[in-house]
Amino acid sequence: MSDRQSPSGRRRRVRSVWPSMVPLAVVWCLLWGEFSLFNILAGALVGAVVVIAFPMPPLHLHLRPRPVALAVLVGKFVVDVVVSSVRVAWTTLRPGASSLTNAIVRVELATPSDFVLTVVAQMTSLIPGSIVVDVHRARHTLYLHVLDVNSAEEADEFRKRVLEQEERVVAAIGGYAHDIDERSDRPVREGGTKR
């Protein structure tokens, strides 16, 4: 990156320390069990050392969190996790596990954003019955191994559920193509309704 040498680049880098440092300080306090002044300062110090010693590639996020859509996303996610856990538990326990059939399904996401891709992959992975086996970043495509799929129709149904999940993610946090043109604030695809 060329902006590492320029003063503005360095300032941006220093400013980018904060968003990672504050959560690390909070984690430090939680681990010690109290929010004393000493813990907060020590946590900030450890956080700063971690962020500076292990720098991450910069993320250019343009998030617009929407409380209602976020609540819908989280609520639906919890329901999905519980329902799917029971399903996977039943798949595990029912007789005839050797006749089980699975599928590897390709899902092409509509949003050209690394962040949305990551969130969707993470959430889909947490819902039992599906794991991400491969990702094509340039085509923002996920390949998911799905447990207990009996036909191509069921595979299509699963694909539709992942795309609905993506729509909920975009509606909740916004899906800008920050990694394609970080300076443009033009949304590539509006998710949800404008408020």
Partner 1 sequence: MTTFFDVVAAICMITGSLLALVAAIGQVRMPDLLSRTHPATKPQVLGLGLVLLGVALRLREPEAFGLLALVIIFQLVTSPVASHMIGRAAVRTDNRGEERLVVDELSEDRPQGRADEGDVPDQR
**Alpha-carbon gap, residue 157 to 130, rounded angstroms:** 13
How far is Cα 33 from Cα 127, in angstroms, rounded to an integer?
A: 31
In the complex with partner 1, which residue's Cβ is closer, 6 or 151? 151
Q: Minimum distance from CB of 170 to partner 1 (Å)?
A: 19
In angstroms, what is the minimal distance from the CB of 78 to partner 1? Answer: 9
Residues lying near partner 1 in the complex (CB under 8 A): 27, 29-31, 33-34, 57, 81-82, 84-85, 88-89, 91-93, 97-98, 100-106, 121-122, 125-138, 141, 143, 145, 147, 149-152, 155
Select 34 or 185, whichever has its Cβ closest to partner 1: 34
Q: Which is nearer to partner 1, 113 or 130 (CB)?
A: 130
The answer to whether residues 87 and 155 touch, using CB atoms and an 8 Å cutoff, is no
Residue number with CB closer to partner 1 (45 or 152)? 152
Q: Least separation, in Å, of the C-beta of 66 and partner 1?
A: 21
Rounded Cα distance, 27 and 183, in Å: 32
Rounded (5°) CA angle 15-174-192: 160
**SS3 at position 134:** strand
CA angle, 154 then 90 then 118, to 5°: 55
CA–CA separation, 97 and 75 (whole Å): 31
Q: Shortest Cβ distance from residue 67 to partner 1 (Å)?
A: 20
7 vs 96, beta carbon nearer partner 1? 96
Give CA angle at 61 (59, 63), nearest 5°. 155
Q: How far is the CB of 180 from partner 1 (least distance, A)?
A: 11
Residue 22 has a CB neighbour count (10 Å cut-off) of 13
Provide, rounded to whole angstroms, the least separation between the CB of residue 81 and partner 1. 6
Smaller CB separation from partner 1, 11 or 137: 137
